[in-house]
Amino acid sequence: MRDYVPELAHDGFERVTVEQVMLHTSGFPNADTRADVSDATQRRAQFARWRLEWEPGTRFEYHGGAAHWVLIDIIERVTEVDFRDFVAQQVCAPLGLPRVLGIPVDQQDDIAVLVDTTGTNADPHALQLNDPRVRAAGLPGGGAIATAADLACFYQGLLHNPGGLWDRDVLRDAKAHIRCTFADPLMGVPVNRTLGLVVAGDDGKHILRYAIFGAGCSPRSFGHAGAHAQTAWADPDSGISFACLNNAVTDDQMNAGMRANRLATIAADLS
């Protein structure tokens, strides 16, 4: 981390690797991420105040906001391009997809409002995305805005790598090389994480993993879920990609996950 994010080279953070950040084993899952992500000075000032919660590399706990802040900071340091523009130029545009991070306020008329279905303010982090200014900031942890069709098309891109967009070996590694098998704190199954994705695996526990795979998904399937049962995956064996997005914010995560799993199972059976 010292080579990329010097503000994190303090109080044990020098032991954290970029791979651990991407695998969510870095030890700072609940780090404060309230600063304006579009302002690098504020963002890096936050980094300097972060503290480790456990020894890096010893367990898995999803770093819902923190890890993504570090990764977008690395993008900007290495490329000298705003992270939102980098994603739009290097990922979205080559796949024929619209911009997904940092949507200007005057282009937000067709964005669905998130609804707190339980009335308990279940997830303030998610509900802040109803603020046009937050949408425009492009929060790196959960702030991308897309249709389910666009997300499914992105996964088709991961399946087929049109035009050689990604280095073949790097893409193969991202889709198949399981680097973390620590137990998921919620479901108790090995997380089966690559650098960015979750792999279904052949142990029969794929529907419990953090991608909400359908029961009929092959072991090579890869994907990722988000808050409140947003999910997307692709199955190399069937060629199917699936995405389920909704605007419900609930504190009943188990029920939301079960509903998404039923839909995912229907999709997997289409092959």
Q: Output the six-digit token pair for 33.
A: 């991420």
In this model, does residue 238 exceed pLDDT 70? yes
Residue that is written with structure tokens 């680097």 in the block: 179
In this model, does residue 2 exceed pLDDT 70? no
Are 258 and 244 in contact by the 8 Å Cβ rule? The answer is no
| DSSP H or E run through 170 | helix 168-176
Q: What pLDDT, in 10s, does the model give residues 147-196?
A: 999 999 999 999 999 999 999 999 999 999 999 999 999 899 999 999 99
Residue that is written with structure tokens 């000298």 in the block: 80
Q: What pLDDT, in 10s, does the model give residues 71-114?
A: 999 999 999 999 999 999 999 999 999 999 999 999 999 999 99
- Rounded CA-CA distance 91/199 in Å is 21
Residue 201 or 8, more confident:
201
How confident is residue 132, by pLDDT bands cut at 50, 70 and 90?
very high
**pLDDT given for residue 44 in this prediction:** 92
User: In sequence order, what are the beta bridge partners of 223?
Assistant: 198, 233
- Rounded CA-CA distance 171/149 in Å is 22
As a whole number of Å, the end-to-end CA separation of the chain is: 43
Residue 10 or 98, more confident:
98
- One DSSP character per residue, 74-113 reads HHHHHH-S-HHHHHIIIIIGGGT----SS--GGG-TTPPP
